[in-house]
Each structure stands twice: as structure tokens, then as C-alpha cells.
Amino acid sequence: MSFKEALNSGKFTVTAEAGPPKGTDIKKIVHECELLKGKVDAVNVTDNQSAVMRISSTSFCKIILDMGLEPILQMTCRDRNRIGLQSDLLGASILGIKNVLCMTGDHPNAGDHKEAKTVYDIESAQLLRVVDGLNNGKDMMGNDLQGATDFFQGAVVTPEANPIEPQLMKFEKKIDAGANFFQTQAIYDIDKFKEFMSHARKFPVKVLAGLVLLKSAGMANFMNKFVPGINVPAELIGELKEAGKEKALDAGIDIMARHIKQLKDENICDGVHIMAIGAEDKVPEIMERAGLL
């Protein structure tokens, strides 16, 4: 069953994330992706995440596609103008890549090439429209394509953005622009997430809750301080602290497994997007503890 079919069937859908490395040695990430085979419904491949230059998302999508995994191509507007974006989308399509996640992209200021010229010719909502156009056989200028794409396109949303109103307006714009599914920024407070979902459920879109694996109390504090839209509640930080340094990762896995179980059992959303950030080998264990395997 494809990712699209899984979501549309009502199955609680699970995606994971793979960040291609900087450099041509892909042994480690290929190994980690092997571990996900037969377990997750799809794997997001990040696009120069945090504006740090790495292997192209499209290239690595093709690698995991050939391994038998279903890739979700993350495509940001940071590095390519509208010609480059459309050309790369057509290129991804002929490689057999079916899913694309449209994002604006972290500013180069966050990354390792701070002197780069920023592009942002278009942004996430406009990119979703572009994908919709390509699916309908037209480029951005309305020119006919010789062969349309067949993408299942999605977008991101930050349920705990502050202020929330402009975020929700953008969420609706993305739906208008053709988003079929959303993967959210990391959430840790399920009750707050329920509030967001009661709004999101008004729209015909699928929502996968974003979950970032907590590896230590320090990491949680760091994210609270520096990552927009992430709020790890004090109780969870307490849990990690109590577990002690050696058991903190284990506690983080427990927290995520517990959250997944609740999201699924209470039918809060349509699935989860697991971001293990450097501990991708733990994804099967998280899924096992959540009762998904």
C-alpha cells in the first residue's frame, strides 16, 4: 500500500525522516533506512536541512526508492528559483518519486553557507500551487507539459506557533493551494495538539503529528529556547532528568511511544511523523513500544 493509499484508507500512518549526509559516503544512512523497511509507510528525505549543504534530497529519494522504501521528497524554496523548482519536480517525477512536501525552507543564516544568496522566488503555498499545476499538465506560466506529474503533495504546519492566528491562515491557504497532507512541527503537549486538531478536522486533509525524539533534558531545554513553535512541557523534562544521563534516551523513547499510542488510540490525528534526529536506528523500537509493530 502506498503512502497515499495508507492515509486515504484510514490506517494510522507512520513516516520517518532521513537526512542525507554531507559527502558521498552513504553507508550509515542506507543502513538506517534498511531498518525502516516494512515498518514505516514512507520516509521523508530532507532538503539541505537547516540550510546545511548535503546530498540532494532527490538523489537520496531515488536511492531509498530502489531499496523498496517510499520516499517523501522535501522541497524547499530557499535554493532554487521557479525554473529550478519545476525542473527538479519533473526530474523527481520521472525517477518515480510520488510524494512531495512543500516548504519555504530555513534561512541560510541558520546553516553552514551563510554568505549564500537567498532565493525564495516563491514560497510554500505558491509551491503547492505549482505542484498542483504540474499534476494538471501545466507549468507556472500555463504552458502545456508533455506529460503531467502525479504527485501527492503535502505541507508543514506549526500547531503551537505563537501567535497562532497567522499560522492557521497560512494552514488554510496551503489547503486551498492543494495540500493533501500535513506533517507538523514537533508537538509534546497532546491536549494542546487536540485543540489544533479540532480546527484541522474541519478541512479535508490528513494530519501526521510531528514527533522529535527527546534524547536528554538538555536537548529539550535547547529546543524550548531556540526552536520556534516547540514547547516541551516541564513534566517531560522532569522525566528525562529523573531517568539520568544513561537512561535519558530510553525515557525519550518511552515518551514518544506513549504519545504515539495516545494519538492512535484516541484517533486524534491520521498518523505520526517520527523525527529521531541522529537516532534513526531507534525508530523500530519506538514503534514496537507504541504497539505499532
Partner 1 sequence: MIITEKKDRKHLLEKIKEYNSFFLLGCSECASLCGTGGEPELVEMKELLESEGKKVTGTFVAKTGCQVLGTKVEIKKNFKSEADEAECILVMSCGAGTQSAVDIYKDKPVYPTNDSLFLGNMTRMQIFDERCSLCGECILEQTGGICPVTACPKGILNGPCGGTNEGKCEVSPDVDCAWTRIYNRLKAINRLDDMKEISKPKNWSAHKKPMTLNVREKKEEGKK
CA 7 to CA 271: how far, in whole Å? Answer: 8
Task: Check residue 191 for interaction with partner 1 (CB under 8 A).
Answer: no
Closest distance to partner 1 from the beta carbon of 83 (Å): 12
User: Which parts of 209-238 interact with partner 1 (CB under 8 A)?
Assistant: 228-229
- Beta carbons within 8 Å of 114's beta carbon, 6+ residues apart: 108
Task: Check residue 172 for interaction with partner 1 (CB under 8 A).
Answer: yes
Candidates 39, 173, 194, 241: give the one binding partner 1 (CB under 8 A).
Answer: 173
Q: Among residues 129 and 282, whose Cβ is nearest to partner 1?
A: 129
Which stretch in 59-67, 87-95, 173-181, 197-205 sits in contact with partner 1 by CB under 8 A? 173-181
Q: Between 147 and 166, how does the x/- string for binding to partner 1 read (CB under 8 A)?
A: ---------x-x--xxx-xx
Which stretch in 19-27, 106-114, 143-151, 243-251 sits in contact with partner 1 by CB under 8 A? 106-114
Q: Among residues 34 and 172, whose Cβ is nearest to partner 1?
A: 172
Task: Check residue 293 for interaction with partner 1 (CB under 8 A).
Answer: no
Task: Check residue 122 for interaction with partner 1 (CB under 8 A).
Answer: yes
Candidates 40, 43, 100, 103: give the one binding partner 1 (CB under 8 A).
Answer: 103
Which stretch in 32-40, 92-100, 117-125, 192-200 sits in contact with partner 1 by CB under 8 A? 117-125
CA 241 to CA 254: how far, in whole Å? Answer: 14
Task: Check residue 176 for interaction with partner 1 (CB under 8 A).
Answer: yes
